[in-house]
Chains A and B, each alone.
Chain A
Amino acid sequence: MPTSSRSGGVVRPWLVAGVAAGALGVLATIDPNEPGHYPTCPFLATTGLWCPGCGSLRAMHALTRLDVATAWERNPLAVIAVPLLVAAWLRWLLDAHGSPRARRWHPTGIAPVVVWTGLVLVLAYWVARNVPGWTWLSPA
């Protein structure tokens, strides 16, 4: 078994990939569009408002069917996040294999202004989803 002293070895990235694949498998077979299969978002249930994550289960379900258009209608920010998460996972895998380039791309090396901009983006998205009539950002 290949082992590495850094970042907990190469086993962990593949473990995470397995868990993600399992979750996508469940999402592909058990349709979140039908009520009663998954818990409702606690924020939506208590406030009646959309949170930044509302619709992401249905978006991922659509992505397992390669239906990007439907996924985009449910939660565009979640669709945008998918390639970023895949890139972060690839970097993690390369880092676990000891790649010096992957070490240079560490998430902690991202310019702070980029992360703060991301925070503002998420907060603006949260508000915009709940503006009456702006259904293009929310699952409504």
Chain B
Amino acid sequence: MSYNEPPNYGTPPPPPAGGYGYGGAPQGPPPNNNLVWAILTTLFCCLPLGVASIVFAAQVNGKWAAGDVAGANESAEKAKKFAIWSAIAGVVVIVLYIILIVVLGVASSSVDTDY
């Protein structure tokens, strides 16, 4: 075997014409990762559900950066669903609290609030 002609294993193939491919963000509008929703639910909704939203946001960014458009869209859809459900959960808690106040009336004024 001659050392003068090394095999071509290490050379990457030329990138496709569109500039797509692995290791780079695809062109076109990226899906919404709902990172702002994640921050809002984590720090202002007082629901630890927001932590899961951050995981979804990181998944969207990771798949998008790797060129996985379908995967990024799928994770973005999950992130959106999760954001909606956590927002609904937050509203339900507030409504239940208001009902509780109305039902218990003045007697609830001693309720300890630490939010």
What class of interface size applies to chain B in its complex with A? 35 or more
Cβ distance A72 to chain B, nearest Cβ, rounded Å: 14
**In the complex, what's the smallest C-beta–C-beta distance from B28 to chain A, in angstroms?**
10
Find chain A residues with CB under 8 A from B25 CB. Answer: 109
Measured as residues with beta carbon below 8 angstroms from the partner, the interface class of chain A is 35 or more
Whether A110 contacts B39 in the complex (CB less than 8 A), given A38-B113, A54-B114, comes out as no
By a beta-carbon cutoff of 8 Å, the part of chain A in contact with chain B is 6, 32, 35-44, 51-57, 60, 75, 77-78, 81, 84-85, 88, 103, 106-112, 115-116, 118-119, 122-123, 126, 139
Contact between chains at B61 and A41 (CB < 8 Å)? no
Q: Are A53 and B108 in contact (CB under 8 A)?
A: no
Q: Does the CB pair A111–B65 fall under 8 Å? A: yes
Point out the residues of chain A lying under 8 angstroms from B42, CB to CB: 52-53, 122
Q: Are A39 and B39 in contact (CB under 8 A)?
A: no
Task: Using CB atoms, name the residue of chain A closest to B76.
Answer: A108
CB distance from A5 to the nearest CB of B (A): 11
List 29 interface pairs A-B (beta carbons < 8 Å), by A numbering: A35-B110, A35-B112, A38-B113, A39-B93, A39-B97, A39-B113, A41-B114, A43-B46, A51-B47, A51-B48, A52-B42, A52-B48, A53-B44, A53-B45, A54-B114, A56-B43, A57-B44, A78-B44, A85-B40, A107-B33, A107-B36, A108-B72, A111-B61, A111-B65, A112-B65, A115-B33, A119-B58, A126-B48, A139-B114
Cβ of B111 under 8 Å from chain A: yes
